[in-house]
Amino acid sequence: MKNKKLTAVLLSSVMAVSTFAGFGTTASAEEKVPLTALFCSHPLTQDIEDMEWVAEVEDEAGVDVTWEQIRADWDQVKATRFASGDIPDILICATASTDFQTYKGLFLDLKDYISEELTPNIYAMFEEEPDTKVLATSGDGGMYSIPKFQGKWPSTNTVLFINQTWLDNVGKEVPTTLSELKDVLMAFKEQDANGNGDPNDEIPLDYNAYGGNMAWFNSAYSLTSLIGSMGIQTTGPINGGYFLEDNTVKFYATDERYKLFMEYLADLYANGLINSNAITNDYSAFQSLSRGNEAGDAVVGCVFGWEETDKFGNNLASQYVPVPALDYDIDCEPGTYDTRWRDDYSELNFADCRVVIKASCADPEAALRFVDRFYDQTHSVESLFGGITDGCIEQTGDNSYKVLPPQDPDTDPGTWKWTSTFADNGPMYIRRSTEIEMAEDMQNALRERETYADTLAKASTSDKYPRMFLKFSADDEAFLALTDANINNIVDNQWALWLTGDADIESTWDSYVESVNGAGLQDCLDIRQAAFDAYLESIQ
């Protein structure tokens, strides 16, 4: 790769000499602008110096970048480096919005640099996807970072899968209500659904909610994904229980519907229908269990996941089908609540703070010119899926691309993406108009989510909580961080007690709600409501 990069430099030199020769001079190629950059990559990601497409980006921008690649423990050293000012010219996937308040003056305010002339691709993104400009704008009105937009990801992170082979074995159909789900799970438990002669090795329903603070809310594969059955529109797994209803910010973990929801789950648990180890199982155990036992038998009947081959492996994937959003029908008629499914479109397709530039950068225009090349149509696709010259994608037309199979036949497409390029951690603007023939795993993911299309279409601005687009003052940020941690500590301690029957929901509900309110919930709601109202004004 380094030889090819050298060749590109030499070719640039020849072209420059030819150009200047036309004016009767023998000047050599222009010097490249030296820059330094830091990229926080996935642990699997190969060295940036081995990505030919990145060398092409540097050549096009006329810069020579010295890279620092961080694969782990950045959060442990970030504060020290930021406090000392020991940072490179450009940082990619290395900052959070709170850093701009904490380290004032460290990062360049970009708002006067973004223009159709200097940064045509970023400028176009702001024009065509206005939410990206909202995302880039800080609470103080400055613009210290450039976000990303990868508009090809689906509208929900989560699919509820069920084993169709098991359904056939026990004579049941795919459930459409919560009552039907319980009925199916009971059949899985009692009828040796996997047919291996062992009536006790089936796990009717599994989930993942392990991983530290706010795991109950934060996991895309938590049982909370089912709360849409109660008419609560959730938007992303990391909103900490906040949701929007009729333009009003609410907290579903103190809503009466949450009480009904927990009573339903506790009933499933009491009947042995929910994996009792899921409370403590980490994500690795959660994934492994869905891949079956040593004999190759499926042992999980119903479970949340991203995509069938990722969740169940190639051997079992064909047994599973998506379950539609389930109506709540416990002691009421189906349709009593306006059934919803979690909408993750913003969480999956937008990300703030993708790129920042240090305020003392010697040549900020060269840095911005370089950054803007990542937002070019082709380079954006390469940032996400890998380079054309690296053999990861193929350009099939002026506006179309094809993701090629992994060069390593033993590697799945998702892992290959993270190994070969910047992947989801990269800066990019994947246009809605760009056509991409996805790898098999993404084709599966998009097909599976057709099950939720009509339900997701119900969501609107008035009930989609726009967490990442809300702006807060430094004081409000600090208050929310502390108060939400206290609130979530109460919620996280309680849900497991209710689920397992170690605490009675009816007798403890009022004291629980009082505790959450006493921790400062109303102040959090007021701050978020004001931020949401300001957001509405900004997009009108």
pLDDT of residue 381: 98
d(CA 478, CA 484): 10
* pLDDT of the residue at 217: 81
Would you give the distance in Å from CA 14 to the centre of its chain?
44
Determine the Cα–Cα distance for residues 392 and 378; give it in Å rounded to an integer.
12
| Angstrom distance (rounded) from CA 49 to CA 60 | 16
Q: Are the CB atoms for 532 and 249 separated by under 8 Å?
A: yes
Q: How confident is the model at residue 210 (pLDDT cuts 50, 70, 90)?
A: low
> What per-residue confidence (pLDDT) applies to 409?
87
Give the per-residue pLDDT at 236.
Answer: 82
pLDDT at 242: 96
Per the CB < 8 A criterion, the answer to whether 516 and 254 are in contact is yes
Neighbours of 46 (CB within 10 A): 15
pLDDT at 474: 85
Element (H, E) at 403: strand 400-403
Average pLDDT, the chain: 92
pLDDT digits (tens, 9 = 90+) for 267-311: 999 999 999 999 989 888 999 999 999 999 999 999 999 999 999
The alpha-helical segments, DSSP class H, found in 351-435 are: 364-374, 377-385, 413-420
Compute CA 141 distance to the chain's CA centroid, rounded to the nearest angstrom. Answer: 26
CB atoms within 10 A of CB 460: 10
Helix (H, G, I), strand (E, B) or coil at 340: coil
Taking alpha carbons only, the member of 31, 28, 29, 35 closest to residue 366 is: 35
Cα gap 375→57, rounded to integer Å: 10
Confidence of residue 211 (pLDDT cuts 50, 70, 90): low
* pLDDT score of 139: 85
Q: What is the pLDDT of residues 22-50, one digit of tens each?
A: 333 333 347 999 999 999 999 999 999 99
CA triplet 219, 221, 225: central angle to 5 degrees? 95
How would you class 205 by CB atoms within 10 Å of its CB: exposed for 0-12, middle for 13-18, buried for 19 or more?
Answer: buried
**Residues in contact with 294: Cβ distance below 8 Å, sequence separation at least 6, in sequence order:** none
* SS3 state at 107: strand
pLDDT in tens, 122-169: 999 999 999 999 999 998 889 999 999 999 999 999 999 999 999 999
Phi, psi of 321 (to 5 degrees): -135, 155
pLDDT in tens, 361-376: 999 999 999 999 999 9
Handedness of CA 385, 352, 354, 80 (dihedral sign): negative
Q: What is the pLDDT of residues 338-350, one digit of tens each?
A: 999 999 999 999 9
The whole-model pTM stands at: 0.87
Tens-digit pLDDT profile for residues 182-201: 999 999 999 999 999 999 99
Please give the average per-residue pLDDT across 239-254, as a whole number: 95
For the chain, give the percent of residues with pLDDT over 70.
93
Torsion of CA 119, 121, 127, 128, to 10 degrees: -170
Buried b (16+ CB within 10 A) or exposed e, 188-200: bbebbbbeeeeee
Cβ contact 61:366 at 8 Å: yes
Q: How far apart are the first and last CA of the chain?
A: 49
C-alpha to C-alpha distance for 355 and 353, rounded to whole angstroms: 6
**pLDDT of 5 strictly over 90:** no
CA distances to 16, 102, 369, 456, 492 from 96, in Å: 41, 10, 23, 29, 25
pLDDT of residue 240: 86
How far is 39 from 426, CA to CA, in rounded Å? 9
> Residue holding tokens 């998702």?
414
The total number of residues shown for the chain amounts to 540
- In this predicted structure, the answer to whether residue 227 has a pLDDT above a threshold of 90 is yes
